[in-house]
Each structure stands twice: as C-alpha cells, then as structure tokens.
Amino acid sequence: AQKVTQAQTEISVVEKEDVTLDCVYETRDTTYYLFWYKQPPSGELVFLIRRNSFDEQNEISGRYSWNFQKSTSSFNFTITASQVVDSAVYFCALSEAFTGGGNKLTFGTGTQLKVEL
Amino acid sequence: EPEVTQTPSHQVTQMGQEVILRCVPISNHLYFYWYRQILGQKVEFLVSFYNNEISEKSEIFDDQFSVERPDGSNFTLKIRSTKLEDSAMYFCASWGRDTGELFFGEGSRLTVL
C-alpha cells in the first residue's frame, strides 16, 4: 500500500524567510510519481510539480525548489524568500506508474504554511 | 490554459436527498477522477473512470455513489441518498497522458444538513 507522510501540520514563518516542507513516502512500486499541490484559502488545488521516480535531479522554479532523495524516500519542497501569498496548505502526493488506471493519487495530510509580515 | 470546470461550486442539501455534481474535463483527456476532501482533512481518492467504465474505486465509493459520462463531455458524480458525513469538497480531475499532469477542478462544496 502507498503512504505519504507530511509530519509538519503547521509552519509559521516571517516573510522573506526560507521554509522547507517535508514529505516522506512509502511504496512498493519501482516506478512511481510524486507531486506537490498548493491549496490556497479559496480551496482549489494548484499543481506545482510532478516528478518520476527515475529522475532524482533537484528542480528549481523561481522561488520554489524540490529535493528528491530516493535513498530516504523523501521529496521535500523549499520556498525561498517566502511571501504572504505563499500562505496555503501544501499537499504532497504519490501515484503508481500508469497501469491503465491512470494516475490515482495518494495524498499526505498537508502542511498549513502561514507567512506573516 | 486548459481547465476542468465543476458545477455547482456550492450545494446545500437535506439528508436523504440525491445530489449530482457535474464536471467538464479537459476535452482530449481520457481518464477522469473524483476525489473528496472533508473539511480540514486530506484529499481522498473516490473513483477513476476510463473508457466509459469505472477502472478503480476506493472503499469510500459505496453503493450510494455512482459516476456517469452521459454525453461525451460531462462527467457526473451522483450521491443517491446523502448523509451528514458526505459533507465535503468534491474535486473532479482529468489526466492527459501527454503531459502526465492531473488537472483538478475548483471543487464543489457539498453541505448536507
């Protein structure tokens, strides 16, 4: 069975601080995908990144970066120079490789990030 | 940018009533999903749908739930007789093999009184 653990329930930072959101996953699959989604107070799920299990390169997109480490089954997300608009719940998710059933995602419980002035 | 649209954005219903939530997936996508998020909790998979049939469903998706793609564009989730615990945000999603991205709609909030 697949499992995603986001141990940090809530994080509060002051604007311009860097913050890292942790994600640890469990799966028996050798091929899988990892995702991060942002859920702002308005409630929608905003796609941030998708990473497959064969690609361990770190990725940077503007102020966002992701660190994928297969050895520790972790896919952590860092926001550099945080801003108030980053305040949201962030979900990490895992899916098995496409088998014909598409991408069924298993979500973590989310981390509520509050960025204050 | 392509998007998944859902209606209604919010529905309030009485316990025992039938509810239909509607979704228009992205036009060239073939895989469709419903997920549920009870307030303050994580997002949970309900059902996936491909080639006009259910490909997988979770234990949450019991006989009270059904899905349909009635006309080639809409994808609906029906709850036959709502219970208080069905109150949640319901997200529709569609998946395209070309990008591999799972696109979510903005959600339909269901409140059962």
Q: Which has more confidence, B97 or A7?
A: A7
Q: What is the pLDDT of residue B75?
A: 95
B111 and chain A in contact, CB less than 8 A = no
Q: What is the pLDDT of residue B64?
A: 95
Mean pLDDT of chain B: 92
Q: Rounded distance, CA A49 to CA A51, Å?
A: 7
Query: Is the pLDDT confidence value at B97 over 80?
Result: no
Q: Rounded distance, CA B61 to CA A109, Å?
A: 20
Q: Which has more confidence, B28 or B54?
A: B54
Across the interface, do B55 and A33 touch by the CB < 8 Å criterion? no
Query: Is the pLDDT confidence value at B87 over 70?
Result: yes
Confidence class for position A98, pLDDT limits 50, 70, 90: low
B 46-105 residues with CB below 8 A of A?
48, 50, 55-56, 89, 91, 95, 97, 100-105
Composition of chain B by helix, strand, coil, percent to 5: 5, 50, 45
Mutate to test the interface with B, among A6, A103, A106, A111 (most CBs of B within 10 A): A103
Chain B CB contacts of A89 under 8 Å are none
**Contact at 8 Å (CB) between A95 and A37?**
no
Residues A36-80 have pLDDT tens digits of 999 999 899 998 998 888 888 888 889 999 999 999 999 999 999
Residues B25-47 have pLDDT tens digits of 998 888 899 999 999 899 999 99
Across the interface, do B55 and A100 touch by the CB < 8 Å criterion? yes
